[in-house]
Amino acid sequence: MLIGKINDRNRQKLLVTIRSVKGIKMIDFRLHHTADDGELVGTPAGVSLTLDQAEQAIGLLQEAKKQISEQP
């Protein structure tokens, strides 16, 4: 299930999806490139997170955002 896309480069996008791995629902962040026919094709570059790992990642991203915002 596609949640959203983040443009990375002209022919690459980071897709956020929900998928099932061995019966466990996971949040997947994966780079996709645009093939010559226009289809998005997944690459090995990505990560799948459990709900607990996603919560930890959200906290770390919020902290990184805060630190970047505080820098002059």
| Domain extent listing, the chain | 2-70
Asked whether residue 8 carries a pLDDT value surpassing 80, the answer given is no
**Correct CATH for 2-70 of 2.40.10.10, 3.90.220.20, 3.30.200.20, 2.30.31.10:** 2.30.31.10
pLDDT value, residue 54:
95
Residue pair 45/30 in contact (Cβ under 8 Å)? The answer is yes
pLDDT at position 17 is: 96
Tell me, what's the pLDDT at 11? 73
Q: Summarize pLDDT for 17-67 with one digit per residue, the tens.
A: 999 989 999 999 999 988 889 888 888 889 999 999 999 999 999 999 999
Output the pLDDT for position 34: 85
Closest-CA residue to 16 (of 56, 61, 54):
54
